Structure 1
Amino acid sequence: MSEAEEEVRGDRNEEEEKKKEKRRRSRKKEKQEQRQVEEEEPRSECVLLRGIFKLGKKSHDVLLTRTRLTWTPIIPETPTGEVCMMQPGVLLLQDVFAVKVKRRRAAGQQSGGAVLGVALFYCRRRGRRLEEDTLHLHNASAEHTHTWYNTLSELLAGLSTRPRYLKVFINPCSHKKEAVHIYREHVAPLFKMADVRTDITVTERKGHALSVMKECKLDEYDGVVCVGGDGSVAELCHALVLRAQLDADSPEDPVKPVLPLGIIPAGSTDVVSCSVHGVRDPVTAALHIVLGHLQDVDMCSFSSHGQLVRFGFSAMFGFGAQSLVQAEKKRWMPSSRRREYALVKTLARLRPEDCQLSFLPAKKSTRERSEHRDQNQDQDSVSEAEESWTTNQGLYLSISVMSIPCLSSHAPRGLAPNTSLANGSAELIAVGNTSRSEFIKHLKRYNSSSGQFSFSFVETHTVSAVRIRPRLLSAWSEEEESEEEQEEGDSKTTPIIQSEGAAFPWNMDGELVEIPNEVLVRVHPRLITLYGEEVDEAESTVSCSCI
């Protein structure tokens, strides 16, 4: 064999060895990438689909399991044969609310068109907010695209907590009368994208939602949605529990509704929405609904002399109720001005109430005891009688009972930061008689991080029941109002006696309720299910400048 032939054969062998080495490196790279993906996925999962799509301008190796989608860039091997490992992107299917086939269509074309791939619509978290985002997977193969689209659609349809048909109530008079606009602009497009059908009722008067809820066929729906403020939310929560009692033929004991309630904030404070979302944002609330995020929440029943007044989340007596009385007189004012006016006016007329305050301290077994409570009301009364009630008599500027934290932009940590959505108890906050300046210091600290309860005249208790029996009602004539506004100093004041038979104002979930007798507040653990996730603190964007 000539030297030339030997050189050619040697070159061929060298090239073959290089090709073999390249193939070995390629197989090694694929195994490493596969091992990395398998390590990130639960062992019980298997890859349902694997394919190549373009994300942007680069081709990616895309894998689909039952819970996630992962994609890794396909990078050509470097001339030196080095393997460049890339961290794969991951999208959890629990965050995806819609999948659509992408097509190229001409202007005015409503259907058909060349297939371009699939688009996954998902929610992205920015702090407490949820934002809509889209992942585009490009592939011109119609067969390949439809295989992925059908599989993804089946996986999303298998998420059982997601609603498919919702009963929606819109209060057009809430806050700045923007509820209809908020729903059409921010909520309806997301519901349509997620293929959620809706049956909409625009309420015409107070109590309209309650009357509709008593008669409609709830078994047709997967959930109920309220677009409005705290008053609308309280009315629908009350209606859901009453309807559950009616369906279960249990008029004496509260019954947990089957349907969850979604809250689209459209009010002035939206404390319930902030407590389950952390922000006053309709998009965040709508995404919690379409993704099926559910949260069990405690509720209270408010009754007087054995007669149910309503179900709700919070009740305020004293300052909180008197300020609402002043605010209701100025409904024509913008909400921020009305709030500041009411606070200043009530502070100028600050008077304590003489009350007998009784409460039943909550125990660790409160939730278990309520879940296994016998349906016999007599047995409930006997069990409560065996508990140790604590009773105090004195002058109080404010008494609040709250089963949820009542977060808002004005009180980021909540009016009742020591309770949570589903701990089976409520927080009792009793503010005793003190000077106006000290009381203002107490109020100001709600805007800060903490310290609102670090006063000698403020006491807090974790309770399962509260009974408030007011003896004297503060009231003022027009002449006394003008005299009061001219008074100076911070000396302690005493209540003014009013004739018997007058009703006492209460602030129950932002609604003014007048009750002439004592009020019994009882906590019912996990009585209702809301769309949302519990948060520790609300987003703070507004502060009150009036105090």
Structure 2
Amino acid sequence: MSDPEEQLRGDSNEKKKKKEKRSDKKKKKKKQKEEEEEEEEGDQGEQQQAAEKEQHSESVLLRGIFKLGKKSHDVLLTQTRLTWTPIVPETPTGEVCVPQSGVLLLQDVFAVKVKRRRGAGQQSGGAVLGVSLFCCRRRGRRLEEDTLHLHNASAEHTHTWFNTLKELLTGFSSRPRYVKVFINPSSHKKEAVHIYREHVAPLFKMADVRTEITVTERKGHALSVMKECKLDGYDGIVCVGGDGSVAELCHALVLRAQLDADSPKNPVKPALPLGIIPAGSTDVVSCSVYGVRDPVTAALHIILGHLQDVDMCSFWSHGQFVRFGFSAMFGFGGQCLARAEKKRWMPSSQRREYALVKTLARLRPEDYQLCFLPGKTSTRNQSEHRRDQALNAESEAEESWTTNQGLYLSISIMSIPCLSPHVPRGLAPNTSLANGSAALIAVGNTSRSEFIKHLKRYSSSSGQFNFSFVETHTVSAVRIRPRSVTGWVEEEEEEESEEEGNPRTTPIIRSEGAAFPLNVDGELVEIASEVLIRVHPRLITLYGEDVDEADSLASCSCI
């Protein structure tokens, strides 16, 4: 064989080998792809089986055909949910249509009624049309009323479903059936009675929640009623009013629990939860537990039995108990409220504006000794807390208190975030409803302009603590002691001598024997000398849920 022929034969063999290699690679890739597809199909099959298993893990109590709108649906009822799937007829071409199913959790249903056709003026009876389920739908933090209509003309079929649904809804033990309602007709714009009648009472009636209503006539009326009335028959207490009414009822509930348990020194958690229908000007507590300032949202939380344990504080002065509350403000916050209380004849918005401007114009620091115990996140339940509380009180002298002394413009202690429409992130955004501690915010002496910048930051997203004169701590107890003579007095004849924006280093002049103002949950409390504040984890139960930040983006226009 000639050399050219051998060369051609060698080239062809090499080409064959290369083709075989490429072929083998393709086969391997194809096989690998098939194996991957098989694995994916297996995973999908397992996921589908798991979903089907989860869906059918609950036994089906009822199954029937109802019309939703104009289409017939196959409806299934289990212990926890209602599901419906459209009944789709087969197409002539044999195409498969995937029906859109729906799910409604029974935990979101608060009432069920038999739907009937009635003539004009007919009060009862009528042809059966089906079952109507009244439920709530979430829109962010807001809860809205919604209705699902299941149409079926069979009276027997409809009543079977109605009775079963009614029985399932009765099984939610946290839902109240009988509540004591306190309405403050004087709160804010005197709209509390209207808000209750228009927005809350119809929902309570639909959900078969019975009520006993007390319209308060004066400050302290709710407290006196709570001390004397029998609470055994109620499932909860409802307050319709502003922050003052809420503070009074929360204080009354814990105080009543102490009296019933014969425990004058140690706070006792009340057995009954409190629901708050916002009807005030700021509604700090209701915004903190609902996230929005909306009476319908509040009413639905109460009806559905959404419960949230909340920390509270106790206030003491020289060993004497003063009250329970969620927040306290010394210095600027207390002075603002004290000035506003002297102008009760003014409309509420004008009164607050006047007090704010007047206090800023006469901004001066106060000389305090500030002691606090670092806070720890509490995971203990209330019984454990009560068991350890006596030991904590006895070992108070041995606790490692941190002590600061100096001039302060404002000192705030808050066991809840204190959200409001004006402060969307809250006055204390770094605390929560039930973390077993409070936020201590101490604002040292600075110029008026810098202090106003600090206040304005509360209306924005963040940055209110990014000042050298502001310090924040997480605490479980705080002791505040004025270092000058006791008492705070307003200097009506004082003349402004310094230029705008210059700091004042001279503290407020105090008179012997007078008390200094303390703002506790929007209520003015005058205390002489030392104040001790202790945080009590999960001391009270409120209807609502923990909120990280409010949805409202309203800006503050007060400054």
2:328 matched to which residue of 1?
315
Superposed, 1:148-163 pairs within 5 Å as 148-163=161-176
Superposed, 1:499-538 pairs within 5 Å as 499-538=511-550
Name the SS of the counterpart of 2:493 in structure 1.
helix
1:71 matched to which residue of 2?
84
2:233 matched to which residue of 1?
220
Residue 85 (structure 1) aligned with residue 116 (structure 2): no
Per-residue CA deviation, residues 207-247 of structure 1 (Å, 9 max, x unaligned), is 11111111111110000000001111011111110111111
Contact 2:368 2:405 in 1 (8 A): yes
Report the CA distance shift for 1:486/1:434 in structure 2 as closer, same or farther (over 3 A).
closer
Q: 1:351: Cα distance to partner? A: 0.7
Report the CA distance shift for 1:486/1:40 in structure 2 as closer, same or farther (over 3 A).
farther
1:220 maps to a residue whose letter is G
1:13 matched to which residue of 2?
none
Contact 1:353 1:474 in 2 (8 A): no
Provide the C-alpha distance between the structure 2 equivalents of 1:414 and 1:38, rounded to a whole number of angstroms: 41
Name the SS of the counterpart of 2:463 in structure 1.
coil
Contact 1:474 1:495 in 2 (8 A): no
1:529 maps to a residue whose letter is T
Contact 1:209 1:236 in 2 (8 A): yes
Match of 1:183 among 189, 196, 200: 196
Match of 2:280 among 250, 267, 271: 267
Superposed, 1:228-267 pairs within 5 Å as 228-267=241-280
Residue 415 (structure 1) aligned with residue 449 (structure 2): no
1:475 matched to which residue of 2?
489
Residue 338 (structure 1) aligned with residue 351 (structure 2): yes
1:103 matched to which residue of 2?
116
| Alignment gaps of 5+ in structure 2 | 1-44
Contact 2:382 2:538 in 1 (8 A): no
Match of 2:442 among 430, 435, 444: 430
Provide the C-alpha distance between the structure 2 equivalents of 1:40 and 1:430, rounded to a whole number of angstroms: 56
Q: 1:68: Cα distance to partner? A: 0.6
Residue 458 (structure 1) aligned with residue 487 (structure 2): no
Contact 2:488 2:511 in 1 (8 A): no
Provide the C-alpha distance between the structure 1 equivalents of 2:53 and 2:91, rounded to a whole number of angstroms: 26
Report the CA distance shift for 1:514/1:450 in structure 2 as closer, same or farther (over 3 A).
same
Residue 402 (structure 1) aligned with residue 414 (structure 2): yes
2:466 maps to a residue whose letter is S
Report the CA distance shift for 1:248/1:489 in structure 2 as closer, same or farther (over 3 A).
closer
Contact 2:68 2:151 in 1 (8 A): yes
Per-residue CA deviation, residues 117-167 of structure 1 (Å, 9 max, x unaligned), is 000000011111100010000000000000000000000000110000000
Provide the C-alpha distance between the structure 2 equivalents of 1:42 and 1:349, rounded to a whole number of angstroms: 67
Report the CA distance shift for 1:302/1:164 in structure 2 as closer, same or farther (over 3 A).
same
1:503 maps to a residue whose letter is A
Report the CA distance shift for 1:485/1:99 in structure 2 as closer, same or farther (over 3 A).
farther
Per-residue CA deviation, residues 170-207 of structure 1 (Å, 9 max, x unaligned), is 00110001100100000000000000000000011111
Identity, % of aligned pairs? 83
2:185 maps to a residue whose letter is P
Name the SS of the counterpart of 1:484 in structure 2.
coil
Contact 2:376 2:436 in 1 (8 A): no
Provide the C-alpha distance between the structure 2 equivalents of 1:226 and 1:118, rounded to a whole number of angstroms: 33
Worse-matched range after superposition: 112-121 or 66-75: 66-75
Per-residue CA deviation, residues 229-269 of structure 1 (Å, 9 max, x unaligned), is 11110111111101111111111100000000000000110
Provide the C-alpha distance between the structure 1 equivalents of 2:442 and 2:100, rounded to a whole number of angstroms: 55
Name the SS of the counterpart of 2:380 in structure 1.
helix
Residue 296 (structure 1) aligned with residue 309 (structure 2): yes
2:396 maps to a residue whose letter is E
2:138 matched to which residue of 1?
125
Larger Rg belongs to: 2
Residue 498 (structure 1) aligned with residue 510 (structure 2): yes
Contact 1:172 1:203 in 2 (8 A): yes
Provide the C-alpha distance between the structure 2 equivalents of 1:361 and 1:353, rounded to a whole number of angstroms: 23
RMSD between aligned alpha carbons? 1.9
Q: 1:380: Cα distance to partner? A: 2.9
Match of 2:403 among 388, 391, 404: 391
Q: 1:367: Cα distance to partner? A: 4.7
Report the CA distance shift for 1:477/1:363 in structure 2 as closer, same or farther (over 3 A).
closer
TM-score (norm 1): 0.90
Q: 1:474: Cα distance to partner? A: 5.1
Provide the C-alpha distance between the structure 1 equivalents of 2:70 and 2:209, rounded to a whole number of angstroms: 33
Provide the C-alpha distance between the structure 2 equivalents of 1:377 and 1:285, rounded to a whole number of angstroms: 33
Contact 2:488 2:514 in 1 (8 A): no
Contact 2:488 2:516 in 1 (8 A): no
1:65 maps to a residue whose letter is T
Contact 1:430 1:460 in 2 (8 A): yes
Provide the C-alpha distance between the structure 2 equivalents of 1:387 and 1:308, rounded to a whole number of angstroms: 21
TM-score (norm 2): 0.88
Provide the C-alpha distance between the structure 1 equivalents of 2:125 and 2:251, rounded to a whole number of angstroms: 48
Name the SS of the counterpart of 1:446 in structure 2.
helix
Provide the C-alpha distance between the structure 1 equivalents of 2:50 and 2:63, rounded to a whole number of angstroms: 12
Contact 1:340 1:544 in 2 (8 A): no
Q: 1:386: Cα distance to partner? A: 2.6
Provide the C-alpha distance between the structure 2 equivalents of 1:43 and 1:388, rounded to a whole number of angstroms: 57
Name the SS of the counterpart of 2:252 in structure 1.
helix
Worse-matched range after superposition: 534-543 or 80-89: 534-543
Match of 1:349 among 362, 384, 389: 362
Report the CA distance shift for 1:376/1:148 in structure 2 as closer, same or farther (over 3 A).
closer
1:340 maps to a residue whose letter is E
1:12 matched to which residue of 2?
none
Q: 1:278: Cα distance to partner? A: 0.6
Per-residue CA deviation, residues 280-322 of structure 1 (Å, 9 max, x unaligned), is 1000000000000000000000111111110010000000111
Name the SS of the counterpart of 1:479 in structure 2.
coil
Match of 1:144 among 133, 147, 157: 157
Q: 1:382: Cα distance to partner? A: 3.0
Name the SS of the counterpart of 1:478 in structure 2.
coil
Provide the C-alpha distance between the structure 1 equivalents of 2:549 and 2:357, rounded to a whole number of angstroms: 27
Provide the C-alpha distance between the structure 1 equivalents of 2:305 and 2:353, rounded to a whole number of angstroms: 37
Contact 2:489 2:511 in 1 (8 A): no
For these two proteins, the number of residue pairs brought into alignment is 511
Superposed, 1:8-19 pairs within 5 Å as none
